[in-house]
Every structure is written in structure tokens, then in C-alpha cells.
Amino acid sequence: MTRQYNLDEIASLDYLLTYYVVQISGSVGHLFLLLLTIISRSIHHNGVIINFYLIFSFTLWIDAILLYTGHLTSQTHQIPPSIRIINSSIRMTGMLANTCTTLTVVFRLFISVNTALSTRLAKILSKISDTILILVPWVLSMPFFIAYLARTIPHPDLVIRTPYFCDYNGSVLNKVVTNLTLALMCLILVLAILTAILLIKLRSSQHGLVYVKTSIDVVLGCRILLFLVYSLTTVVVLSGTLNDAWGSFSDGPTLAFGLTGFWAFLLFFIQPDTFNAIMTCFGLRKSRNRQRRPSFLSVSASRPRGTERHEFDGNLTFNGSLNVRSSGSDECGDVNGWVDKRRLDNADSRCLGGGSSRCSSSSSSTTHTTHTTHTTHTTHTTNTDTYPNIFTEIHTHKNTDSDTSH
């Protein structure tokens, strides 16, 4: 059973160090992913994911301000008012901003999977641009940040030191922010479940046409599990806080909630693109392709040509393609799966993909073309349109070259 504290009581040193080390680790982890995404040649820059890393890294760092300013065990009167105000204001609004930016990432995935499956919502959802998603966390959180500053700057005595951090002793504003954060996190949980169902449906539609290594499914499963832990922990802790289920403060819920930022880092760290970029940066593998790969968060299909075996890496990106390539390609990166052209020739004539034209196979054994209206020709193996990885976007690139044959 975890210990409960009064407002004027400081938590034990072991618990304090654990809490702040977790915050610093999460902040440094997100900063590492941010710099890796910007610097690496193998990862495309994307505003939504960069915004996610930036907000998490900054808010977690400010949340641990008492550690690196030397006020780990200080009482309220020993902490300068400016530090107390910064800690309390950014901690609460940062909690809301972190939830909002997580929602934008999950919603981007939800849009992508709907596009891949050509659902009824796909056309409507596709109108939501990345610019809108980037602005959402700032538009929702900044008014509350201004409200906190307007309340705390004239009355710094209302900001007190609690067992773990500084908090504004104004119940109304705190409850509004907490309730809004809880509502958004519940929405994230619902969207995540719906997206998981759609991903399973997408994977089943690819059975027999697309081969994927078992390790990719394991990675996908681990990330879904981490995300469920992250969202469920937040919902449970915030619900208990609003209902005063744990008194003023207690160790267990506080430490569990503090871990959510680190879990969010692990959620994005566990993916092939990250490992490939790290290996390249540290010289563990030479990069022979100087072009940027499609970014951290998306999946789409390019169109292979020829009768040889084709491979794809299955990395999740936001605006790229699913890098289908022949086995003799010079591109760097591990091969996570491959498309067997012979199996596709013997399969049914439909093509997978979101919004693309249906295909019919040519009877020639050496020429594989698909004839659509308006003299558009594409290869039969083109539409392996999406590899179901988490946080993905689907793009289908039509080949409009006339009379293309291999």
C-alpha cells in the first residue's frame, strides 16, 4: 500500500529521485529522437512527429526543474517564486499539451488506415492537414498557460510545494485542465482501439500476397501494448485524482503517472527506422543511399518493375512509400519482408490499396501490365498498398507512363 502525504510534507528521497530521474530520462529520450529525426539522412522530416518530440521533451524537462535547481527537498518558502510559478504552470498545461500532441499522432494514424481501406470516412478525414494537427496542442494549451500566469504572478503565495512538485492551490483551474486532459485521453484510447481493429482487418486482406517477418508483428504488438499502458495509466490516475481516491498525494499513482512520458519515448523508440538510423550514425552500417527515407510515421507502396523477387522494409513513415525494391537494390536497410511476384501472378486479380483503381492481370508470362481507362498502365504488383505498421500514412503513386511493360 502506497503512502499518502499532506500538502506540506515532502516525499522520501528515494521516491523523489525515482520520480525526477524518470522525468529527465523521458525528456532526454524525446530530445534524442528529435535530433535523430532532424539529423539522420534515413528519416524524413515531419512536422507532426517533430512537434510531438519537442513538446514532450520540453514539458518533462520543466517538470524536473526542482532537481537541477537544487530544490529537491526544499519547502515552499525556500523555493524562489519564479521557479514555483514556472514549475506549476508548465506542469499542468504541459500535461494537456502532451495529451493533445499524442492525440494528433493517433488521429494521423487513424486517417491513414481509413485511407488504406477506403472507408466511408477516408475522403472526409483526408482533408485534415498536418498543419492543423501541429497547431492543435498549442491552440488548446496556450490559453490555460496564460490563465495560470495571470493567477500565479500576482499571487505567488498560492503556489506551494507539494510532496513531489510545485502546484497552484486553485482547485477550479486545476480541475478544468485535468477534466479536459482526461476527456482527450479517453478519446485517444477509443481511437487507438478502432485503429487496432482496422489494422487487423488490413493485415487479413494482405494474407497470401504480402510476406512480413515475424519480428515486425512482434514490434507492432509491443508498441500497441505500450500505448495501451500509457493511455490506461493516464486515465486511471486522472480519474482517481478527480475523485480524491488517493487523498492529497500518494507514491504509487504519482510515480505511475510520471512514467507515462518515458513510456511515450519507448513507444516511438521501438521501430525499425530508429534502429537503422542509430546504426548508421554510429558507423555500425554504411548507408549507400544518400536520399532520405520516407519519415518516421507512414507506410505506402511504390510500384516494383520486373519479374524478380521484390522486397520491402515495412518501416513506418508519415509521407513516404513502402519502399518495395528488387533484391539487387543498392538501398541500405534491413529487409523485413518481401513480395513474391509469382504468388501475386497466381492470386486473384484485385489490387490492395486505398482509393486506387482495380487491376486485372495480363495473360502474358513476361509482360505484367494493368490497363485502366484513359490509357493508364501500371504493373500487376503495384498495389501492395500498405504495410500495417503503427503510426502510418498511405500514399499510392500512380504510374501514368503509357504502354509500360517489363
Pairwise pLDDT comparison (49 vs 315), residue with the higher score? 49
* The pLDDT value given to residue 206: 72
The answer to whether position 84 is within a domain reads yes
Query: Is residue 263 over pLDDT 70?
Result: yes
User: What is the arithmetic mean of pLDDT over 10-18?
Assistant: 90
Query: Is residue 51 over pLDDT 50?
Result: yes
Q: Lowest-pLDDT range, 172-181, 228-237, 308-317?
A: 308-317
Query: Is residue 312 over pLDDT 90?
Result: no
The answer to whether position 325 is within a domain reads no
- Non-local CB neighbours of 376 within 8 Å, separated by 6+ positions: 357, 398, 399, 400
Q: Lowest-pLDDT range, 33-37, 180-184, 399-403?
A: 399-403
The answer to whether position 33 is within a domain reads yes
The answer to whether position 134 is within a domain reads yes
308 — pLDDT class (breaks 50, 70, 90): very low
The percentage of the chain sitting over the pLDDT mark of 70, rounded to a whole number, equals: 63
The answer to whether position 396 is within a domain reads no
* The pLDDT value given to residue 26: 94
Inter-residue contact 74 to 67 (CB < 8 Å): no
Query: Is residue 290 over pLDDT 90?
Result: no
Q: Could you give the number of structural domains in the chain?
A: 1
User: What is the arithmetic mean of pLDDT over 258-269?
Assistant: 86
6 — pLDDT class (breaks 50, 70, 90): low
pTM, rounded to two decimals: 0.69
For residue 39, give its domain range.
9-278
User: What is the arithmetic mean of pLDDT over 332-360?
Assistant: 40
pLDDT tens per residue across span 204-223: 777 777 666 666 667 776 77
- Residue appearing with cell numbers 486553485: 170
- Alpha-carbon span 163 to 16, nearest angstrom: 8
Three cell numbers at 121? 470516412
User: What is the arithmetic mean of pLDDT over 335-350?
Assistant: 41
What 3-state DSSP class applies to 4?
A: strand
Query: Is residue 262 over pLDDT 70?
Result: yes
CA atoms within a 13 Å half-sphere pointing along the CA-CB vector of 335: 16
Q: Lowest-pLDDT range, 67-71, 94-98, 247-251?
A: 247-251
Q: Lowest-pLDDT range, 17-21, 91-95, 277-281, 349-353?
A: 349-353
Pairwise pLDDT comparison (170 vs 71), residue with the higher score? 71
Top mean-pLDDT range of 227-236, 337-346, 348-357: 227-236
The answer to whether position 329 is within a domain reads no
CB burial of 257-270 (b: ≥16 within 10 Å; e: otherwise) equals: bbbbbbbbbbbbbb
The percentage of the chain sitting over the pLDDT mark of 90, rounded to a whole number, equals: 26
302 — pLDDT class (breaks 50, 70, 90): very low
Pairwise pLDDT comparison (378 vs 99), residue with the higher score? 99
CA distances from 329 to 279, 326, 385 (A): 19, 6, 20
Return mean pLDDT, the chain: 72
Helix axes 214-242, 260-269, angle to 10 degrees: 160
Pairwise pLDDT comparison (329 vs 52), residue with the higher score? 52
Query: Is residue 384 over pLDDT 80?
Result: no
Q: What is the dihedral of CA 36, 62, 191, 253, to 10 degrees?
A: 120
* The pLDDT value given to residue 201: 82
User: What is the arithmetic mean of pLDDT over 346-354?
Assistant: 41
* The pLDDT value given to residue 243: 67
- Non-local CB neighbours of 269 within 8 Å, separated by 6+ positions: 29, 33
Query: Is residue 86 over pLDDT 90?
Result: yes
Closest CA to 224 of 256, 195, 255: 195
pLDDT tens per residue across span 137-176: 999 999 999 999 999 999 999 999 988 899 888 778 888 9
The answer to whether position 227 is within a domain reads yes
CATH classification at residue 232: 1.20.1070.10
* Conformational region of residue 304, where left means phi above 0, alpha means psi within -120 to 50, and beta covers everything else: beta
The answer to whether position 371 is within a domain reads no
